[in-house]
Amino acid sequence: MAAAAARDPRAPVARRRRTRTGQGRAGPGRAMEIVHVYTRRRSDFGRPCCFSDRPAEVCVDIQPDPSLAEAFVPRSPVDAPVQHGSDMSEHEVNTERVEVETRGVNHVEGGWPKDINPQELEQTARFRKKVEKEENYINTVVHLGTLMEHCVRQNNAIDIYEEYFGEEEEAELEDESPSAKTINVIRDPNVTKRTATHLSWHPDRCKKLAVAYSSLEFQQKTEDMSLDSYIWDLENPNKPELVLKPSSPLVSLEYNPKDAHVLVGGCYNGQMAYWDTRKGGLPVEVSAVEASHRDPVYGAIWLQSKTGTECFSASTDGQVLWWDIRKLSEPTETLVLDITRQGLLENALGAITLEFEPTMPTKFMVGTEQGIVIACNRKAKTPPEKIAGTYSGHHGPVYALTRNPLYPKIFLTVGDWTARIWSEEAKESSIMWTKYHLSYLTAGCWSTVRPAVFFTTKMDGTLDVWDFLFKQNDPSLSLKICDEPLSSLRLQDNGCIVGCGSKLGTVTLLEISSGLCTLQRNEKNLANAMFERETKREKILEARHREMRLKERTRSEGQDAEAEEILEESPQEALDRAQKEFFEVIEAELQRRARAEAQHLHGKVKKHAEEEAVVQGEESKLPKYEEEDEENVAPKE
Amino acid sequence: MTELENYLFSGIPIRTTLDNSTTVQYAGLLCQLTMKARSTVRDIDPQNDLTFLRIRSKKHEIMVAPDKEYLLIVIQNPCE
């Protein structure tokens, strides 16, 4: 209460109010105000504060009122829970990645006694002869010899590692549920991460992986973003084996299947470059900027040729160019992806993926941004004829396009939210497709071993393995690899190990369980039967559609000319007609309502008069609507 | 199909049927390995001692018979 003495002179009247229930002089059951009031004269306000010490004095003394105690009942025992939980804290520790390097050690002969020089043959020979004459040596050798002979004979008698029951192992594989194991994770060593846009396995032993890194976001390239792409050796995921240094980031990169030292890469700025790994990280030759693509080169594939130096590339600028890497200054051939077959670049579709099967060297396919797959024939005489057919069915860009390695007529496309399987024979639609997923599909490939198994990756970072013979609704195996979108996928030739690249440049290598990468009994026949059946179904549907369209056409040709004109009204006419119909409907409804109300209030005269006013009011609103609509229509015109 | 070598425990080949460089390599490496194996066996049970060491690899089997001073090493190709 001594604090009350330090007053704030700006407050008009300083009051200390404390309310306590059940206590105080007013008695029980009433909120009591304990108030300490002091007053000052108005003229004293605004004066400077002058603090001084003074002894404590009691301002208020509130005595306890024993009579209130009757309002309370003592309670005993009292249950009061007390909890003490020990404080826990959570800590995470992650050890730093250890950089491991492999080095060799050179052996040098040693162990000789000091006086003998190991290089001198005489001395060593003399030492040896001396040792051989020792008795200890002779005894030891005899003893050890018998021991050794026993073991050698054992080995000669029985081979303990012989496979006794090799034929019976196949029966055990049926019940294994599909799974996959991460064997390695390779990260982009740069600070600013780029997307791993393309993966290519080394053709011989698949121990090396070439990864193209670039940032595909529009104009996201920062100053410190490195242009390099790397070749990784799987034994050493910390440090790339070779750094490829193009002049512009690589979007696609492929090993030459004939010559494992040569790689071709398509750059972000449209150029093509090729490397020889024996010659280092700089490209051996780069194509001329004028003759190259105008957009990033999304697909670059090697062709089958005697020289092994031919490749072709596709880009979203609508062109497919053929190159010979010995002379990258200009392409050997060009094709414009114009499906109206006029060869106009303006009409051309942008290519996102390219597909080529070495067993069919004259045909190739291009997946476009517009969702159409174009099948082309390289050997056609005129450029318009090169485009053999189109398959449309995707709503968005076709991100992956691969033929089934065992049934080349069947190919897989991945785009928008589905993956679709097509047959070359069914041109109108895909023969089989997956359901629409929640996230966009980014890449896909067939299994090289099993004809009905394929892999897809999604934008939410999951890898799905589909076994279409087993289950078509859902993937057989769905793995969440990382949180960022996966951008590329590549299977090794053995069908077991798959690499997926993500948006932040992390390449994850997974080993698929053997159930998904070993050919089951009779699988080829079953898969063949399934594809044939679906193709037949599509062909029947196609034929039916054609029939229906033909019927429609003949029917519409047989009608009157007037009817035809009505059908072909302009948008403005359609608008007017729609407006008229709309008002007709409103008027009819209003009249109906008016009649209903008039009947309902038939006896009441007063309301009848009001009613008419209401009806008139509604009708007067109509012209207002019309005016409003005309106002809207006028600016459109 | 066996090759054999005798070694001093310090790693000097006394007698061998292989060429010198291979012998020297086997000498150095197997001596150390035998020492390690022996010390392992004795660490677990001090009364125990290593009598024989066999290493089976894809290509052949290496058998080592250790003694106090000498080692007898035999490399055998398994019979298939």
pLDDT digits (tens, 9 = 90+) for A316-327: 888 888 888 888
- Cβ–Cβ below 8 Å for A151 and B25: no
Residue A353 has pLDDT above 80, yes or no: yes
Mean pLDDT of A370-386: 79
As beta bridge partners, residue A499 has A490, A509
| Cross-chain Cβ contact A112/B12 below 8 Å | yes
Report d(CA A436, CA A427) in Å as an integer.
21
CA atoms within 13 Å, Cβ hemisphere of A69: 5
Contacts 24+ apart (CB under 8 A), B58-64: B61/A155, B62/B26, B62/B30, B63/A148, B63/A151, B63/A152, B64/B30, B64/B33, B64/B34
H or E element at residue A633: helix A605-636
pTM above 0.80, yes or no: no
CA A267 to chain centre: 22
DSSP A62: P
Nearest Cβ partner for B72 among A107, A136, A141: A141
For residue A370, which of A351, A343, A354, A345 has the smallest C-alpha distance? A351
Length of chain A: 637
- β-pair partners for B73: B5, B64
Q: Is A146 on the interface with B (CB under 8 A)?
A: no
Tally Cβ neighbours within 10 Å of residue A253: 26
DSSP state of A194: -
Q: Which residues of A touch B61 (CB under 8 A)?
A: 155
Dihedral angle of Cα A243, A246, A247, A251, to the nearest 10 degrees: -120
Least reliable range by pLDDT among A527-531, A570-574, A579-583, B7-11: B7-11
CA distance A586 to A625: 11
Interface contact A111-B51, CB threshold 8 A? no
Are A511 and A180 spatial neighbours (Cβ–Cβ below 8 Å)? yes
Q: Is the pLDDT of residue A616 over 80?
A: no
Continuous segment of H or E residues that includes residue A576? helix A571-600
**DSSP three-state, residue A411:** strand
Q: Burial of A220 by CB count in 10 Å (0-12 exposed, 13-18 middle, 19+ buried)?
A: exposed
A533 CB contacts (<8 Å, ≥6 apart)?
A: none
Q: Treating both helix axes as pointing N-terminal to C-terminal, what angle do A135-157 and A121-133 enclose, rounded to 10 degrees?
A: 90
A508-523 pLDDT, tens digit each: 998 888 878 788 788 8
Contact A199, A498 (CB under 8 A): no
Any CB–CB contact under 8 A between B79 and chain A?
A: yes
Nearest to A298 by CA among A324, A335, A265, A347: A265
pLDDT of B41 = 92
Average pLDDT value for residue range A218-222: 68
Q: Does A151 touch chain B (CB under 8 A)?
A: yes
Average pLDDT over residues A518-541: 86
Residues of A in contact with B54 (CB under 8 A): 151
Q: Are A140 and B70 in contact (CB under 8 A)?
A: yes
d(CA A219, CA A147): 76
A125 reaches B (C-beta below 8 A): no
A145 touches chain B (CB under 8 A): yes
A318 CB-contact burial (10 Å; exposed 0-12 / middle 13-18 / buried 19+): buried
Give the pLDDT confidence of A164-219 residue by residue, as tens digits. Answer: 776 655 555 556 677 888 888 888 888 888 888 898 888 877 788 888 888 877 76
pLDDT at A341 over 90: no
Q: What angle do CA A494, A495, A499 make, to 5 degrees?
A: 105
Residue A160, exposed/middle/buried by CB under 10 A (0-12, 13-18, 19+)?
exposed
Instruction: Count interface pairs A-B at CB distance under 8 A.
Output: 66
- pLDDT confidence of residue B3: 66
- Which of B25, B33, B74, B77 would you mutate first to test chain A, the one with the most A CBs within 10 A? B74
Look at B24 and A144 and tell me if their CB atoms are within 8 Å.
no
The DSSP annotation for A306-355 comes to: SSS-EEEEEETTSEEEEEETTBTTS-SEEEE--TTSS--STTPPPEEEEE
| pLDDT band, residue B78 (cuts 50/70/90) | low
- Residue A413: phi and psi, rounded to 5, are -125, 145
In what helix (H) or strand (E) does residue A490 lie, and over which residues does it extend? strand A486-491
Cα separation of A384 and A523, whole Å?
Answer: 40
Over residues A30-58, the pLDDT tens digits come to 456 777 787 888 887 788 888 889 899 88
- How far out from the chain centre does Cα B21 lie? 16
- Which secondary structure element, helix H or strand E, spans residue A630, and what is its range? helix A605-636
- Whether omega before A237 lies within 30 degrees of 0, making that bond cis, reads no
List the structure tokens of A346: 């303006």
Q: How far away is chain B from the Cα of A163, in angstroms, using its nearest Cα?
A: 11
Q: Is the pLDDT of residue A608 over 60?
A: no
Q: What is the pLDDT of residue B36?
A: 92
Query: Does any CB of chain A come closer than 8 Å to the CB of residue B25?
Result: yes
Task: Tell me: pLDDT of A80 over 80.
Answer: yes
